[in-house]
Amino acid sequence: MKRALTAAGVFALGAVAYGMYQLAYEVKRLEDELIALNRSIAQEREAVEVMKAEWTYLTRPDRLQARVNRHLSLAPPPPHRILALSGLPPRPEEAVVEGWGVISIPDPNAPPAPQAKPFPENLPLPVADPPVGALAAMDLATAERGR
Amino acid sequence: MNILIRRPRQRARPCTPADLGGGQPLVQIEGTVRAAIETGRSRIVIAGALFGLCFLVLGGRLADLMLFRGGIEPTPTRTAGLVAATGSASPVERAPIVDRNGVLLAVNLRSASLSADPRRIIDPAEAATKLTRLFPELNRAELHQKLMSDRGFLWIKRNLTPGDQKSVNALGIPGLAFHVEQKRLYPQGSLAAHAVGYTDIDSKGIAGIEQYFDDRLRDPGRLQDPLQLSIDIRVQHALRDELSKSIEQFSAIGGAGLVMDARSGEIVAMVSLPDFDPLSPGGAVGDAKFNRITLGVYEMGSTFKTFALAMGLDTGVIGMNGGYDASHPIRISRFTISDDHPKNRWLSVPEIYQYSSNIAAAKMAVDVGAAGQKAFMERMGMLRKPVVEVPEVGSPLFPKRWNTIETMTIAFGHGLSVSPLQTGVGIAAVVNGGLLVPPTLVKREAGAVVPAERVLKPQTSANMRRLMRLVVTDGTGTKAEANGYVVGGKTGTAEKAGVGGYQKKALLSSFVAAFPMHEPRYVVIAIIDEPKGTKETHGFATAGWTAAPAIGRIVSRIAPLLAVAPIDANAPKVREALMLPAPAVGAPERKLASF
């Protein structure tokens, strides 16, 4: 009886010691993880700040204006084109479209009619992965062309 | 040694507490040794109790941690010190500044500087080639020489962009190192430089908002909380862009512009040209750092007739149907006051404003009297230093002795120098129903109570709106019209005071405007410093030809941004609000010169 008790005691002692070590290591591991996470949060935050600053820098009005003037044929809207929603004319029920004749404009509140899929379904899919290096080669080709 | 030991049974085990304690005594001891054993026993009991207590405390603490405080994670702030200690991130030293829509105006970023340890560089020639390819501004030969040297440390480039840092990493040159430093960046460049200001290398604000709110921006508790200004960067850009065009067109030496909310006093845009790059304020040339809107004080010229008329109407010296004889110039002591657009006849109140008559404005001011005019100007905030959130604020200059002649000249904007900001605040009070609202560069929350002081009767303000609109429809400021936005305003062309009197050729052409005139929301001021006439303006450099067209373009651009709905100038609502009283048929109430 006493022998069994002792054995149980020794076993319990071992188990508790093992458990304690496990726990201690687990806590240490979690702490490391926490530090790593906090560090990466700080890094991400900083990256976000940098990107915000960069975005602001890239979208500053004078730069946008220069790009728009060079690449787009946009002009400021004249005042008569700015209307309140209530200022819009009522929606017509029919319209004459060149080449199409008179078409009826569907009621916007009606349930949507079944529509064709925007892409054909029977487009052949690639049968195998592209060979290794093909994508890089493609990039290179684009870069070459761009030059 | 006299010990008697009886062993009932041979046991191959160490002594257990049971052996020592109760039950049958296993060991029988006698004599002095017995007493010693007893002492030992009681000591063991005490030690055991102490250990038990210790374990109890530990157990209690464990239970406390596991059961009652478990689940509370350390917050990032609590671990921030830990993270900082590892050197991966340091907290920012200064809160960001944003515009009214949250667009960044100033932000602290960590930037990396590149250094090298030449002793650890394996192939200096290759490293130099690679680095100069990345940074073309570096001199390859010089860099090669440096990398060959025996030094342990040298800077290659300070404050790299994150992109450059990545590129350097991609080069994979051993012996290079990055050093993290904090830097205050202004992503908008010089766009709002005068309002935002700048900092010195220690991140201490030394101009503009940066200086005024230095303590708040450095407050450790509010570093994550950006300071929001009333500036709208889009409006700021439109204002700056159009002013730059005018300055270029008329070969002017500078310009200034202000857009202010007439009701809340918020400064939506504030431009002073030429301006400077806040990243290198030391490189600013001439008076580029001078803020013409808040710090500069000018004799505003005819725009001040707005205040003269408002004063005349508000004090009841004259009514909308009244008028003055402007057929002859006024001669007083050695001065002659004449009109720039002489009609040489009696002028009604709307005509006085429309044709900008100096003679009539002077006569009206004399009727109000010097004391009355001074009190009125004081009430309009023209005689005290305005309060706004930048340290660069100029005090108005006014004459010590304020007699008849000063009264006359101040009526048409000479003799009293104020900042364009003060003029803007005054104009806002004239058009917004008569409330003087303190200007601010910090965004007012929607629904916030705006401190305002009544300085004019609402009826005076309504009449002044009609007069200001008249200047744009049929007066000196027709070029200020912006289709759909019912602009009203007043031109002002002042000769700048120089050595030995006023200079005929050095003009300060300004236009103060408000829109939409039937219920004004914004006050706009454009000032062009020393414009020169061009062929298109037939050689004129007066405000009607220089500042007024700028106002027209500015309003057309900013009104959609400020959500001002366009309205037909002939809409019944507008006509009703801006209708001038029909001139009395027959003999109007003629008021002749009072001296």
Q: Is B180 helix (H, G, I), strand (E, B) or coil?
A: strand
Contact flag A60-B83 (C-beta cutoff 8 Å):
no
* Per-residue model confidence as pLDDT tens digits over B369-423: 999 999 999 999 999 999 999 999 999 999 888 988 899 999 998 889 999 999 9
Query: Does any CB of chain B come closer than 8 Å to the CB of residue A54?
Result: yes
Query: Does any CB of chain B come closer than 8 Å to the CB of residue A4?
Result: no
Which residue of chain B comes nearest to A38, CA vs CA? B76
Q: Which residue has the higher pLDDT, A131 or B423?
A: B423
> What integer is the mean pLDDT of B300-325?
91
DSSP track, B52-120: HHHHHHHHHHHHIIIIISTT-PPPHHHHHHHHHHTTS----SS--EE-TTS-EEEEEEEEEEEEE-GGG
For residue A78, give both structure tokens: 């004249």
Q: Give percent of chain B above pLDDT 70.
A: 88
Query: Does any CB of chain B come closer than 8 Å to the CB of residue A60?
Result: yes
Q: What is the band of B26 on the pLDDT scale with cuts at 50, 70, 90?
A: low
For chain A, first and last CA: distance in Å?
90
DSSP B4: B
> What integer is the mean pLDDT of B201-226?
89
pLDDT at B305: 93
Asked if pLDDT for residue A100 goes beyond 90, the answer is: no
CA distance A13 to B19: 22
User: What is the 3 state secondary structure string of B216-247?
Assistant: HHHCHHHCCCCEEECCCHHHHHHHHHHHHHHH
CA distance B132 to B114: 13
Query: Does any CB of chain B come closer than 8 Å to the CB of residue A46?
Result: yes
Contact flag B88-A53 (C-beta cutoff 8 Å):
no
Q: What is the band of A128 on the pLDDT scale with cuts at 50, 70, 90?
A: low
pLDDT at B88: 40
* Residues β-bridged to residue B298: B418
pLDDT at B496: 82
Indicate the average pLDDT of chain B. 85
CA distance B179 to B67: 45
For residue A79, give both structure tokens: 């005042």
Say which range, A6-15, B30-39, B354-363, has the weakest mean pLDDT: B30-39
Q: Which residue has the higher pLDDT, B445 or B111?
A: B445
pLDDT at A147: 39
Asked if pLDDT for residue B23 goes beyond 70, the answer is: no
Q: Which helix (H) or strand (E) holds B337?
A: strand B335-337
CA distance B589 to B595: 18
DSSP track, B134-168: H-TTS-HHHHHHHHHS--S-EEEEEEE-HHHHHHH
Phi-psi region of B484 (alpha: psi -120 to 50; beta: other; left: phi over 0): left
Which has the closest alpha carbon to B96: B2, B163, B188? B188
Q: What is the band of B427 on the pLDDT scale with cuts at 50, 70, 90?
A: very high
Active-site annotation holds for B88: no
Q: What is the band of B10 on the pLDDT scale with cuts at 50, 70, 90?
A: low
pLDDT at B177: 87
> What integer is the mean pLDDT of B282-291?
84
Which has the closest alpha carbon to B516: B543, B471, B555? B555
pLDDT at B536: 82
Query: Does any CB of chain B come closer than 8 Å to the CB of residue A42?
Result: yes
* Per-residue model confidence as pLDDT tens digits over B349-371: 999 998 889 999 999 999 999 99
CB atoms within 10 A of CB B241: 17
Q: What is the dotted CATH code of the domain comprising B90-118+182-229?
A: 3.90.1310.10
Q: Which residue has the higher pLDDT, B556 or B592?
A: B556
Query: Does any CB of chain A come closer than 8 Å to the CB of residue B184?
Result: no
Residues B472/B518, Cβ–Cβ less than 8 Å? no
- Residues in A closer than 8 angstroms to B80, CB to CB, are 38, 42
CA distance B273 to B288: 7
Cα–Cα separations (whole angstroms), residue B391 to A24, A59, B120, B195, B267: 58, 30, 50, 10, 16
- Residues in B closer than 8 angstroms to A46, CB to CB, are 89, 109-110
Question: Which one from B230, B246, B272, B302 is the annotated catalytic residue?
Answer: B302
Asked if pLDDT for residue B34 goes beyond 50, the answer is: yes
Contact flag B237-A62 (C-beta cutoff 8 Å):
yes
Residues B574/B465, Cβ–Cβ less than 8 Å? no
Which has the closest alpha carbon to B435: B468, B460, B470? B460
What distance in Å separates residue A130's CA from the closest CA in chain B? 27
Q: Which of A23, A28, A52 is the best residue to mutate to test the B interface, defined by the most B CB atoms within 10 Å of its own CB?
A: A52
Residues B556/B482, Cβ–Cβ less than 8 Å? yes
- Residues in B closer than 8 angstroms to A57, CB to CB, are 187
CATH (one of 3.40.1800.10, 3.40.710.10, 1.10.3720.10, 1.10.760.10) for B236-578: 3.40.710.10
* Per-residue model confidence as pLDDT tens digits over B50-86: 999 999 999 998 888 777 765 555 555 544 444 444 4
Q: Where are the domains of chain B?
A: 90-118+182-229, 236-578
pLDDT at B87: 41
What distance in Å separates residue A115's CA from the closest CA in chain B? 38
* Per-residue model confidence as pLDDT tens digits over B428-482: 999 999 999 999 999 998 888 888 999 999 999 999 999 999 999 988 889 999 9
What is the number of H-type helices and E-type strands within chain B? Answer: 19, 18
CB-based contacts of B193: which residues, under 8 Å, 6+ apart?
B186, B208, B275, B276, B277, B278
CA distance B438 to B78: 42
* Per-residue model confidence as pLDDT tens digits over B117-166: 888 888 888 888 888 888 888 888 888 888 888 888 888 887 787 788 88
For residue B465, give both structure tokens: 């709106």
Which has the closest alpha carbon to B241: A39, A61, A97? A61
Contact flag A49-B79 (C-beta cutoff 8 Å):
no
CA distance B163 to B166: 5
Cα–Cα separations (whole angstroms), residue A77 to A83, B236, B514, B559: 11, 19, 21, 11
Q: What is the band of B591 on the pLDDT scale with cuts at 50, 70, 90?
A: very low
DSSP track, B491-539: EEEEEEEETTEEEEEEEEEEEEEEESTTS--EEEEEEEES----TTTTT
pLDDT at B385: 93
Query: Does any CB of chain A come closer than 8 Å to the CB of residue B560?
Result: yes
- Residues in A closer than 8 angstroms to B89, CB to CB, are 39, 42-43, 45-46
Q: Which among B86, B191, B565 has CB closest to A35?
A: B86
Query: Does any CB of chain B come closer than 8 Å to the CB of residue A65?
Result: yes
CA distance B468 to B489: 5
